[in-house]
């Protein structure tokens, strides 16, 4: 495990001061004053052991005089270099031809900038860096208590010793897939037990503090990534899973995608009436609607700029209820991606899991499934480890008639591989909806951290060149930590200036429906290893979206647009007219190798894809695995291919459809 030695801590403090140097008098303090090294170490320790070792080796290299050989600089340890020399070293790594140096730069940059801008004291006082950004910080209710603070409505199990449980159906995962299966089967009278790797949080537990919440609610404390570090991956790991932390977009699956899945993957139910009934059922259970009237600055810019270019936009259906257009609710919606303290978002935490519990289902959070047990080719339960409130680890054994795995497209294949499944396509075909952010400064305040994170979508470019592949243009959360991490860094001063007046920044994301996928494997300890590289085909789609996003920013009135590349190509506009369009024309000629730009994923899919062809699909159309009877998959990993739209509702519909089949095959 990674150990934060005094020498490594000293190097990290020097790195933090280089990424975020001291500014003029009156500026916020330098990086080392605000970057909590204990939280940085915790994020590293949440990674696979191999990645932890690599990070330690990276710091050890920087702590030696030989670090100078990486950039032909002085043969001195990093912390012994002059500030300008430290910055020069980092700049050389950022643009290095050596992939390992680019990776090292990006890992260090992301950690330092996110922790500096995203953290805040535990007493609730603001981060000193927020004043320059115009960021007000978490927004409690006027009386200081979130409206959702009504106690914890669910009563999870809390074993303190090694325990064996018996049930009819074991559900592993509690998000969009597992939560629906649990609710449907428990309501139908089945004895259900749910294991969830993450914690149970509710109401005031959602502090709205970025670093705190990403550390508690996301897989690998929010620092999950591909093995080469080039794609940052956000995946919920808490009771309610992704539905607790997502952006509340509830998109129906595009018809052309369903037709593709039905035809190319021999899964005709996707175009049949029963799957549509499942889509309708989960939309009703989540109170999906487009009634909310207010947009924040960047959603309004996406709507206005698109209209001025003659491009249509749509309101995004959202799974929220009880929301008024009051300023209090508007501000609160901006923090629901960090867990909804106010109880408006209708994820599985507030819907299907409550239904499951009301009908006798047992919930066991903080419990990591190690393997599914089998006898004679049939699933019989699982072995897991539960972490108690005091940090004690106890063994959990479950004996079940059926097992449903719904841990997400990263953890589900890893669990199945740990359990001995060996289908040749298991873990393959990983789709990520690879995403880049295009930010711009506007002459007027945007305050894009308030209001719905996403309420407007532009689908003009979803089917480029007559294909089923392209991009959606949406908007992301813009709280300071994520914003600082996503925006390119060329120097400490440049990055500081870019973030100043962040209340005038608006961002669009280019969400790519990727045709060509990656892979999930496991290391010798069973931890998932993620390999993914954006193909030339998918990069062309992404760049078409980047160009479109930039043009919409300009049409909406932005005066400076920052293109998402490490060299930070910057567009300038006046009066809605782009002044240097040649930069857009040269976009494709920039080097787009891994870690030369920031690529992110909030959607992971297709690693256990279902279909009617057993040779190429690890999961049958019913959701049952090809290799093991009584073992089902009910999450985004079962998608035959990339969904092309934010996948929550599709996952829930697929889980609902799978649950109907389970009702018929599970003995009451």
What is the 3-class SS of 429-461, one letter each residue? EEECCCEEEEEEECCCCCCCCCCCCCCEEECCC
Q: What's the pLDDT score for residue 391? A: 95
Q: What's the pLDDT score for residue 23? A: 87
Q: What's the pLDDT score for residue 668? A: 47
pTM (2 d.p.)? 0.96
pLDDT digits (tens, 9 = 90+) for 519-577: 999 999 999 999 999 999 999 999 999 999 999 999 999 999 999 999 999 999 999 99
Q: Are 376 and 360 in contact (CB under 8 A)?
A: no
Between 328 and 507, residue with greater pLDDT: 507
Q: pLDDT at residue 145 above 80? A: no
Q: What's the pLDDT score for residue 513? A: 98
What is the SS3 assignment for 355?
helix
Q: What is the CA radius of gyration of the chain?
A: 24
Q: What's the pLDDT score for residue 666? A: 59
What value, to the nearest 5°, has the Cα angle with vertex 630 and ends 627 and 634?
90
Q: pLDDT at residue 95 above 50? A: yes
Q: How far apart are CA 322 and CA 187, in angstroms?
A: 25
In the predicted model, what is the mean pLDDT of residues 247-261? 97
Unique residue bearing structure tokens 């914890």: 152
DSSP 150-215: S--S-------S-EEEEEEEEEE--STTHHHHHHHHHHTT--EEEE-SS----GGG----HHHHHH
Between 500 and 357, residue with greater pLDDT: 357
Q: What's the pLDDT score for residue 149? A: 52
HEC readout, 212-242: HHHHHHEHHHHCCECCCCCEEECCECCCCCH
Q: Are 485 and 476 in contact (CB under 8 A)?
A: no
Q: pLDDT at residue 382 above 90? A: yes
Q: Are 644 and 468 in contact (CB under 8 A)?
A: yes
Tokens of 291: 């009634």
Q: What's the pLDDT score for residue 342? A: 87
What is the distance in angstroms between the CA of the first residue and the CA of the last residue of the chain?
46
Q: What's the pLDDT score for residue 134? A: 92
Given pLDDT bands bounded at 50, 70 and 90, which one contains residue 239?
very high
Between 149 and 104, residue with greater pLDDT: 104
Q: What's the pLDDT score for residue 141? A: 56
Q: What is the average pLDDT value for the chain, to the nearest integer?
A: 95
Q: How far apart are CA 169 and CA 403, in angstroms?
A: 6
Q: How far apart are CA 609 and CA 265, in angstroms?
A: 9
Calculate the alpha carbon distances from 654 to 258, 349, 350, 611, 633 in Å.
12, 18, 19, 13, 10
pLDDT digits (tens, 9 = 90+) for 166-205: 999 999 999 999 999 999 999 999 999 999 999 999 988 9
Listed range (219-223, 305-309, 663-667) with the worst mean pLDDT: 663-667
pLDDT-above-90 percentage for the chain: 91
Q: Are 294 and 285 in contact (CB under 8 A)?
A: no
Which residues are paired to 204 by β-bridges? none
Residue 651: enclosing H or E segment and its boundaries?
helix 648-665
Which residues are paired to 320 by β-bridges? 345
Calculate the alpha carbon distances from 255 to 258, 459, 468, 505 in Å.
5, 14, 11, 35
Widest pairwise Cα distance in the chain: 73
Query: For residue 356, how many C-alpha atoms fall within 13 Å in the half-sphere facing its CB?
Result: 34
Which is nearest to 649 in space by CA: 176, 327, 255? 176
pLDDT digits (tens, 9 = 90+) for 425-449: 999 999 999 999 999 999 999 999 9
Tokens of 441: 């400064």
What is the SS3 assignment for 376?
coil
Calculate the alpha carbon distances from 163 to 356, 383, 525 in Å.
22, 10, 24
Q: What's the pLDDT score for residue 667? A: 53
DSSP 46-80: TS-HHHHHHHHHHHHHHTSGGGGGGTT--SS-GGG
Query: For residue 498, how many C-alpha atoms fall within 13 Å in the half-sphere facing its CB?
Result: 25
Listed range (16-25, 149-158, 345-354, 530-539) with the worst mean pLDDT: 149-158
């Amino acid at each position: 495990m990674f150990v934060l030695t005094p020498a490594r801590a000293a190097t990290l403090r020097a790195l933090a001061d280089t990424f975020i140097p001291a500014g003029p008098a009156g500026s916020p303090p330098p990086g080392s004053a605000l970057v909590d090294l204990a939280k940085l170490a915790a994020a590293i320790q949440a990674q696979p052991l191999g990645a932890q070792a690599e990070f330690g080796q990276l710091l050890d290299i920087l702590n030696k005089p030989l670090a100078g050989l990486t950039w032909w600089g002085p043969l001195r340890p990093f912390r012994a270099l002059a500030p300008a020399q430290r910055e020069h070293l980092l700049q050389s790594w950022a643009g290095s031809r050596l992939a390992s140096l680019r990776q090292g730069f990006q890992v260090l940059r992301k950690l330092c900038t996110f922790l500096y801008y995203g953290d805040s004291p535990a007493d609730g006082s603001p981060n000193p860096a927020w004043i320059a950004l115009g960021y007000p910080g978490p927004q409690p209710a006027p009386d200081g208590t979130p409206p959702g603070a009504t106690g914890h409505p669910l009563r999870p199990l809390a074993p303190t010793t090694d325990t064996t449980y018996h049930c009819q159906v074991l559900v592993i995962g509690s998000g969009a897939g597992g939560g629906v299966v649990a609710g449907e089967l428990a309501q139908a009278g089945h004895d259900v037990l749910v294991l969830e790797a993450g914690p149970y949080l509710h109401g005031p537990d959602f502090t709205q503090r970025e670093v705190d919440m990403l550390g508690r609610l996301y897989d690998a404390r929010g620092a999950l990534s591909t093995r080469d570090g080039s794609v940052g991956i956000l995946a919920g790991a808490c009771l309610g899973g992704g539905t607790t932390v997502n952006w509340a977009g509830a998109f129906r699956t595009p018809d052309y995608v369903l037709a593709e899945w039905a035809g190319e993957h021999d899964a005709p139910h996707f175009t049949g009436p029963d799957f549509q009934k499942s889509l309708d059922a989960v939309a009703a259970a989540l109170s999906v609607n487009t009634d909310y009237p207010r947009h924040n600055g960047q959603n309004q810019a996406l709507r206005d700029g698109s209209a001025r270019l003659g491009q249509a936009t749509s309101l995004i259906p959202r799974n929220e209820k009880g929301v008024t257009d009051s300023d209090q609710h508007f501000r609160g919606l901006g923090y629901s991606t960090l867990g909804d303290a106010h109880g408006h978002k209708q994820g599985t935490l507030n819907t299907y899991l409550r239904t499951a519990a009301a009908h006798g289902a047992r919930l066991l959070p903080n419990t990591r499934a190690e393997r599914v047990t089998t006898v004679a080719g049939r699933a019989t339960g699982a072995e897991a480890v539960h972490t108690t409130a005091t940090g004690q680890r106890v063994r959990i054994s479950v004996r079940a008639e059926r097992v449903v795995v719904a841990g997400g497209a990263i953890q589900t294949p890893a669990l199945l591989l740990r359990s001995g499944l060996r289908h040749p396509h298991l873990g393959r075909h990983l789709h990520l909806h690879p995403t880049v952010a295009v930010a711009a400064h506007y002459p007027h305040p945007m305050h894009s951290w308030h209001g719905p994170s996403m309420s407007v979508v532009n689908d003009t470019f979803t089917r480029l060149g007559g294909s089923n592949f392209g991009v959606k243009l949406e908007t992301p959360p813009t709280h300071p930590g994520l914003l600082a991490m996503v925006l390119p860094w060329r120097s400490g001063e440049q990055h500081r200036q870019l973030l100043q007046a962040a209340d005038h920044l608006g961002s669009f994301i280019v969400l790519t429906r990727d045709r060509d996928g990656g892979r999930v494997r496991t290391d010798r300890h069973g931890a998932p290893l993620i390999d993914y590289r954006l193909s030339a085909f998918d990069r062309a789609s992404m760049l078409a979206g980047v160009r479109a996003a930039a043009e919409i920013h300009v049409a909406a009135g932005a005066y400076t647009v920052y293109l998402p590349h490490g060299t930070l190509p910057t567009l300038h506009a006046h009066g809605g007219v782009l002044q240097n369009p040649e930069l857009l024309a040269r976009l494709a000629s920039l080097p787009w190798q891994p870690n030369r730009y920031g690529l992110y994923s909030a959607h992971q899919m297709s690693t256990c894809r279902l279909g009617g062809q057993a040779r190429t699909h690890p999961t049958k159309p019913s959701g049952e695995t090809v290799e093991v009877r009584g073992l089902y998959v009910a999450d985004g990993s079962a998608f035959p291919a990339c969904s092309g739209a934010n996948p929550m509702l599709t996952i829930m519909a697929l889980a609902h459809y799978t649950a109907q089949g389970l009702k018929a095959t599970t003995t009451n």
